[in-house]
Amino acid sequence: MPMFICTACGTQYPDSAAAPAQCAICEEERQYVPPRGQTWTTLAGLRGSHTNTFREYDDGIIGIGSVPAFAIGQRALLVRTPKGNILWDCISMLDDATVTMIKGLGGIQAIAISHPHFYTTMVEWAHAFGARIHLHAADKEWIMRNDAAIELWDGETKALWDGVTLVRCGGHFPGGTVLHWAKGAGGRGVLCSSDIATVATDRKFLTFMWSYPNFIPLSAPQVEGIAAALAAFRFDTIYGHYFDRVIAKDGKAVLKASVERYVAAVEGKRGYE
């Protein structure tokens, strides 16, 4: 039986004779059902309509996204460390070319995902590469296709290897996670912030929302909580969740300035109210 994929958020559901009546993730306030209504595809269907594209950033980080853009349109990152590769975040489209190329780069030893909007076809990726999937337990209700490869973690941080740490920041989702790589960016540190701390369109600031499509902000204490979760970590480069959303340097100072700007804005202290 086919495993249907929601075309609005990219989430794959367990096999079923007919498409699900609704997508639980898109029916919730942090996503949306498009005006055309709910539609579905499958991985076989996606392979006929889309292909993957790659961009190598500095220091062993390769972006993987789909063309044309599919669902939310995020790109994943292959974080390449000496002791193994980590797939950070995930995309729905996975084809033979992608598997062959990533295997040529050493495969994927672990998959870690920031929040449920990017769970997509994570189980397909885990099976293709024999990788474990690390998800924060606080968001487990949003796992639509369960699998033995999924490993839930609890608490505030989870260390992988080679200075790679998953850090729970919360905010957008209770288990909202970012990836910190201490040895990335030539040892200055990398933060993969996804849309838990979103790189703004001007790439000068980060911003924070509870619902991005429906414009519902986080509170000041929630955003200060994200800053507190990252206080102990050094980083220079910040990778957001789209190909072009990268803050190349001074990431730590950018986070501080961004949190101050955000808190001032939501507290009515920006000076142009």
Residues in the site for Zn ion, rule: CB under 5 A? 6, 8-9, 11, 23, 25-26, 117, 195
- Closer of 88 and 129 to Zn ion (Cβ): 88
Q: Least distance (Å) from Zn ion to the CB of residue 161?
A: 27
Q: Left, alpha or beta for 200 (phi > 0: left; psi -120 to 50: alpha)? A: beta
Beta bridge partners of 238: 191, 247
124 vs 195, which CB is nearer to Zn ion? 195
What residues pair up with 87 in beta bridges, in sequence order?
78, 111
Tell me how far, at minimum, the Cβ of 156 lies from Zn ion, in Å.
20
Give CA angle at 133 (91, 128), nearest 5°: 65
Cβ contact 26:32 at 8 Å: yes
Residue type, 115: H
The rounded distance, in Å, linking the Cα atoms of 223 and 196 is 10
We find the least distance from the C-beta atom of residue 183 to Zn ion, in angstroms, to be 28
Q: Which is nearer to Zn ion, 24 or 220 (CB)?
A: 24
- Radius of gyration, CA atoms only, the chain: 18
Closer CB to Zn ion, residue 69 or residue 248? 69
Nearer Cβ to Zn ion (139/236): 139
Closest CB 83 distance from Zn ion, rounded Å:
29
* Residue 221 in tokens: 């204490």
What is the nearest approach in angstroms of Zn ion to the Cβ of residue 241? 8
